[in-house]
Structure 1
Amino acid sequence: MVLCFPQPSLSKSQILVILCCVCPQCDSLLCVSVGEAVLSACEKACSLIDMRAHSGGHPCLGAVDLIPLYPLGEDVLPQDCASEARAVAEGLTERVQGTSVFLFGWADLPLQRGLAQRRKDMSWFQKNPDLTQIRPDLGPAPGRQYGLTGVGSSPYVMNCNVTIDSQDMVLGRGIASAIRESTDGGIPGVQVLALPHEGAVEIACNVESLKGDPPSLEWPVFDIGGQSYCHAPASVITRRVSELAAVKGAGTKGTAIVGFTPRECRGLAELALSQDIGEFWREQRRVRM
């Protein structure tokens, strides 16, 4: 993920990305432009990862599968992130020949379709999609070596995974369906898959932020450019999964927030910048992306 964060000494158009590295000359935190940082990482990934030799249980289409840009400060506006995301998408297809990109969120103009919808459009959820039938927004038809990369921007998306103490994928898919946003009675903003995970079933949730007031005080709120947003908390997701699993006689083994909550992410970014802490993620004990 890319975190767009304004620096007090810079204009809001000078968006920076906080890199998890230390300058070898001065031992301080390095901040470079979003585009250059991301493209450098993509070039390295594409030199190391060949999708023709890839295998794994989690759906993916690209050596670099997803590049989401999120605003963390009130002064970073949706159009700032959208512009940066589109520049990254164009830069990737230019600097790594043979890569292909689809756009989502604020970067997907003029429709601004969400990530879940765009992934459906691109056959991302299919196990063995026919790449020749996929029409990317940038670059050639996806090839087998690099596959297809999603690039876009949106309000922060939290990843919350709840593991149920069962190997029953039918049970897992039923729970995933019940809490999915598109289901009547589902949790707003939650996109979810059930995946096998270390001898159990993981209910893997992308928790999207929503415009407007929260449905309850338990839901965290934040602001982007004067617009209020909220998101379902991990406690609500865990409680619902636990209740649904218990009906079938199963328990849960735990919840992992992969990455950060929006509030936590901003707080840690501010702390790392203020104290010149490089590789800050190494100091965290919870699961991080």
Structure 2
Amino acid sequence: MSKLVECVPNFSEGRRFEVVAAIEAAGEKCGVKMLDRTMDADHNRSVITFAGEPEAVLEAAYAMILEARERINMEGHHGAHPRLGAADVVPFIPVSGVEMAECVELARRLGERVGRELAIPVYLYEEAATRPERRNLADVRRGEYEGLKEEITRPERRPDFGPVRMHPTAGAVVIGARKPLIAFNVNLGTDDMTVAKAIARALRAKDGGLTFVKALGVELKERGQVQVSMNLVDYRRTPVYRALELVRLEAARYGVPVVGTEIVGLVPLDALLGSLEYYLQSESFRREQVLEVKLHA
């Protein structure tokens, strides 16, 4: 079986297509398959998904971080999504023929090289974390770019690799290894951020909400709306429909409707089929009933 690794880097640019296209092209030259690109102007963020053999994926990730360093200046960056750097977060995900330990090794190799050759401070997270308090991305990204500039010399905030100072334009980068997740956003028919934050707090696992859900409230200024932005880190145990229905329930307390949803990046077919079964109230639906599944079996 051939080895296949997925990488889903997030970049702090969601408004200039030419910049994101150049970053993507830099990675594509390394022999990986580009699978998806999502840009969001309100978040001022792009998510690019690609996959390939482990070494090719490693080289592509490095090339894209380098390109982002040259094209994105964090000093002038503004957006609704938390961020630390031009290349903000770079996770490796095992797909086939690869164990999580191999993705951890890829993350650490990339981190060491980025810190040494590109002079960007690197933080390792999730399965690649070197200390327990850095497993959770939100904890690593606390204070965002501006806050880390002030705190990076503190012992608890020193990077795993690279200089103990922010890169003057590229900031810092978080690199790691993790399981597949679903980035799922729910837009609300209000511009009240207190509502979005309250709903996000009700959903978050760490605040007593749904297990395997990370959530935050985000302002969508161009739309005049707010959003509950979620990462579902285990969609089999906390499915998409359950997260959506809890958002609806909590929003109803404030008289606020759900006006739309968004999946960022790619999503496993089984995650969508679970929601199909729920909303159609299907009693006997089987995966094999999907035409494309049968055709490609």
TM-score, normalising length: structure 2: 0.68
Question: Which residue, out of 164, 175, 178, partners 1:151?
Answer: 175
Q: 3-state SS of the aligned residue for 2:161?
A: coil
Residue 149 of structure 1 aligns to which amino acid in structure 2?
V
Q: 3-state SS of the aligned residue for 1:173?
A: helix
What is aligned with 2:135?
A: 114
Question: 1:133-152 deviations in whole A, cap 9, x for unaligned?
Answer: 22111111223411110000
Q: CA deviation at 1:114?
A: 2.2
Task: Identify the structure with the greater helix proportion.
Answer: 2
Q: Percent identity?
A: 26
Superposition pairs of residues 95-106 of structure 1, within 5 angstroms: 95-96=117-118, 98-106=119-127
What is aligned with 1:48?
A: 71
Question: Which residue, out of 246, 256, 281, partners 1:240?
Answer: 246
Instruction: Report the CA distance shift for 1:132/1:207 in structure 2 as closer, same or farther (over 3 A).
Output: same
- In structure 1, C-alpha distance between the alignment counterparts of 2:160 and 2:240, rounded to whole Å: 34
Mark the runs of 5 or more structure 1 residues left unpaired by the alignment: 1-7, 22-28, 210-218, 221-229, 266-270, 276-289
Question: Which residue, out of 161, 166, 169, partners 1:142?
Answer: 166
- In structure 2, C-alpha distance between the alignment counterparts of 1:84 and 1:182, rounded to whole Å: 29
* 2:177 corresponds to 1:163: no
Mark the runs of 5 or more structure 2 residues left unpaired by the alignment: 8-31, 36-49, 153-157, 272-291
Instruction: Report the CA distance shift for 1:57/1:249 in structure 2 as closer, same or farther (over 3 A).
Output: same
- In structure 2, C-alpha distance between the alignment counterparts of 1:264 and 1:83, rounded to whole Å: 29
Residue 247 of structure 1 aligns to which amino acid in structure 2?
R
Instruction: Report the CA distance shift for 1:109/1:30 in structure 2 as closer, same or farther (over 3 A).
Output: closer
What is aligned with 2:266?
A: 260
- In structure 2, C-alpha distance between the alignment counterparts of 1:168 and 1:241, rounded to whole Å: 15
Larger RCO (CA within 8 A; separation ≥ 6): 1
Q: CA deviation at 1:58?
A: 1.5
Q: Which moved more, 1:63-72 or 1:102-111?
A: 102-111
- In structure 1, C-alpha distance between the alignment counterparts of 2:193 and 2:131, rounded to whole Å: 38
Instruction: Report the CA distance shift for 1:243/1:110 in structure 2 as closer, same or farther (over 3 A).
Output: closer
Instruction: Report the CA distance shift for 1:111/1:174 in structure 2 as closer, same or farther (over 3 A).
Output: closer
Q: CA deviation at 1:130?
A: 4.6
- In structure 1, C-alpha distance between the alignment counterparts of 2:263 and 2:168, rounded to whole Å: 32
What is aligned with 1:212?
A: none
- In structure 2, C-alpha distance between the alignment counterparts of 1:195 and 1:133, rounded to whole Å: 24
Question: 1:82-139 deviations in whole A, cap 9, x for unaligned?
Answer: 001111111212332x2111001221236484233xx424534x57315142211111
Instruction: Report the CA distance shift for 1:19/1:252 in structure 2 as closer, same or farther (over 3 A).
Output: same
Q: 3-state SS of the aligned residue for 1:92?
A: helix
What is aligned with 2:33?
A: 19
Question: 1:262-285 deviations in whole A, cap 9, x for unaligned?
Answer: 4579xxxxx9xxx9xxxxxxxxxx
What is aligned with 2:274?
A: none
Cα contact 1:159–1:259 (8 A) shared by 2: yes
Q: CA deviation at 1:233?
A: 1.9
What value does the CA root-mean-square deviation take over the aligned residues?
A: 2.7
- In structure 2, C-alpha distance between the alignment counterparts of 1:64 and 1:30, rounded to whole Å: 18
* 2:86 corresponds to 1:69: no
Cα contact 1:99–1:146 (8 A) shared by 2: yes
Q: CA deviation at 1:64?
A: 0.6
Q: 3-state SS of the aligned residue for 1:150?
A: strand
What is aligned with 1:207?
A: 232
The aligned length equals: 225
Cα contact 1:105–1:112 (8 A) shared by 2: no
Instruction: Report the CA distance shift for 1:114/1:30 in structure 2 as closer, same or farther (over 3 A).
Output: closer
Residue 129 of structure 1 aligns to which amino acid in structure 2?
G
Cα contact 1:136–1:142 (8 A) shared by 2: no
Q: 3-state SS of the aligned residue for 1:72?
A: strand
- In structure 1, C-alpha distance between the alignment counterparts of 2:85 and 2:74, rounded to whole Å: 7
